[in-house]
Structure 1
Amino acid sequence: MAQSDEDRMRALEARIEAAKSKAEPEIKHMDQGHSQAQLAWRMVVELVAGMGIGFGIGYGLDWALGTTPWLMIVFMILGFIAGVKTMIRSAQEVQQAEVARGQTDAKTETQDGD
């Protein structure tokens, strides 16, 4: 009876390993989607932060100088521009990382093929 329990345990472990190996590509795909979502949120936060900082500076200067909406509008526009520039820089960083990863993968494939 003990032998059959050991056989069942080995069979169960083999099924678990097979299920894990099938699930790995899906997990990698989910990681890519997750990183894309993180990138999107990062860009949104950068844009909103730029505009928020511009709004704060403009509102503070308008309050101090009595130039009611003008400096707030100017600094919000400057904050928007700064946010967009930061978003573009983030996108370039991600693109460069993907290119570097692609080059590393290509080197690995050529080494494996030799």
Structure 2
Amino acid sequence: MSDGQDPRKLDALQERIDKLRGTKPVRPQIDDHYSQTHAGWRMITELVTGIVMGVGIGWGLDSLFGTKPVFLVLMTLLGFAAGVRVMLGTAREMQRKYESDAAAARDAGDNGPGGGQDKGNGRGD
């Protein structure tokens, strides 16, 4: 925006836009594909981080105690288990968010997440 625009005109325009929109709040349009991609990368990162930390701790303990593969294998498996546990927690969090968004959309009279598109079997039922 340039500095030469009149803020009163912009306020008046915003009032007209708000009046035309009515009382229904406007939700930001977020493409479902991008939010799912973000969630997928987050879960992959959590899993890989758990494994890498397990390998690092295991390697460090092995070099400290002089027992080469024992702690490396053990801590790698524990890191994998921890990564899976955190990843499942993220999946539960996403499920709760999706369910609360769907309930809010039902209460607002919307067709829920997905924008009212039929994602069924194509027969309309």
TM-score normalised by the chain length of structure 2: 0.63
Q: CA deviation at 1:31?
A: 1.5
* Residue type of the alignment partner of 1:41: W
* Residue type of the alignment partner of 1:65: F
Show the 5 A alignment for 1:52-91: 52-91=52-91
Q: CA deviation at 1:48?
A: 0.4
- The structure with more radius of gyration: 1
C-alpha separation between the residues in 1 aligned to 2:81 and 2:46? Answer: 11
User: What SS does structure 2 have at the residue aligned with 1:109?
Assistant: coil
C-alpha separation between the residues in 2 aligned to 1:48 and 1:67? Answer: 24
Q: Alpha-carbon deviations, 1:56-90, whole Å to 9, x = none?
A: 00000000000001101000000000000011000
Q: Which runs of 5+ in 1 are unaligned?
A: 1-27
C-alpha separation between the residues in 1 aligned to 2:38 and 2:109? Answer: 29
Q: Which structure would you say has the larger RCO, counting Cα contacts within 8 Å and 6 or more residues apart? A: 1
Q: Percent identity?
A: 37
C-alpha separation between the residues in 1 aligned to 2:74 and 2:67? Answer: 12
Deviation >2 Å, runs of 4+: none
Aligned length: 83
- 2:96 corresponds in structure 1 to 96
Q: CA deviation at 1:42?
A: 0.6
Which structure shows the bigger proportion of residues in helix conformation? 1
C-alpha separation between the residues in 1 aligned to 2:70 and 2:44? Answer: 25
